Chain A
Amino acid sequence: AQSVTQLGSHVSVSEGALVLLRCNYSSSVPPYLFWYVQYPNQGLQLLLKYTSAATLVKGINGFEAEFKKSETSFHLTKPSAHMSDAAEYFCAVSRYSGGGADGLTFGKGTHLIIQP
């Protein structure tokens, strides 16, 4: 079964600093990987997704993630944090091959705190 592990339940960075949220996956098939963001009292919004086309994936709000098969990682980065980035971030992997059409398995989430 596919799974993801997010390292660090809370990450705190200063405004303007680099954001790095870590995600490692386990998958018996070529994975489709996703990052979602959840703002307080809201649903999950797709940030970006990896579907085997390019290893460096660019998403919304200046975020990007790099797929590294050798490290089974899909870490999320943003060069300069903004106060509005404070939220919960979830890494997810498709349950089966072929994308998320059969559902996603989510990590536990990382709460990103931005210090002024």
Chain B
Amino acid sequence: DARVTQTPRHKVTEMGQEVTMRCQPILGHNTVFWYRQTMMQGLELLAYFRNRAPLDDSGMPKDRFSAEMPDATLATLKIQPSEPRDSAVYFCASGLEGVGTIYFGEGSWLTVV
């Protein structure tokens, strides 16, 4: 059963600490998305990659957030330094260009205190 895998599932950290979230997309998918979900803003697209190259990161705060794909099986989202307003659920999703459907992971639930 192919699925998008995210780690950690839950993270509580102190303000100022670095947070790294990881995602393993579905094997064969060439497009990876990072979404953030909050009560106030709903689901926001932070960034996405195609064939490991960043295509759009306009939704991501550049001063503290960074996203990379070191290889086709791993995407990372890093926050440094973290702030309480970063508390949210971060979803990774993957899809195949031209097919249309994207599949979501279970999310990384981040709390910054």
A interface residue numbers (CB < 8 A to B): 32, 34, 36, 41-46, 49, 51, 90, 94-95, 98-109
Contacts and interface: CB of A to CB of B under 8 A. Distances in A.
Interface in B30-71: 31, 33, 42-43, 45, 48, 55-56
A89 to B, nearest CB: 12
Contacts of A49: 100-101
A104 B4 CA distance: 17
A100 B103 CA distance: 10
B113 interface: no
B99 interface: yes
A25 to B, nearest CB: 15
B102 A100 contact: yes
B42 A108 contact: yes
Given A43-B107, A101-B100, A106 B42 contact: yes
Contacts of B42: 106-109
Interface string B3-24: 0100000000000000000000
The secondary structure that dominates the A interface is mixed
A98 B98 contact: yes
Interface of B: 4, 31, 33, 42-43, 45, 48, 55-56, 91, 93, 95-107, 109
* A-B residue pairs, 4 tightest by C-beta: A99-B100, A106-B43, A43-B104, A44-B104
A101 B31 CA distance: 7
Given A43-B91, A98-B100, A101-B31, 18 more contacts: A43-B106, A49-B100, A49-B101, A90-B43, A99-B99, A100-B95, A100-B101, A101-B95, A101-B96, A101-B100, A101-B102, A102-B56, A103-B45, A103-B48, A103-B56, A104-B102, A107-B42, A108-B42
B33 A103 contact: yes
Contacts of B100: 32, 49, 51, 94, 98-101
Contacts of B45: 95, 103-105
Contacts of A106: 42-43
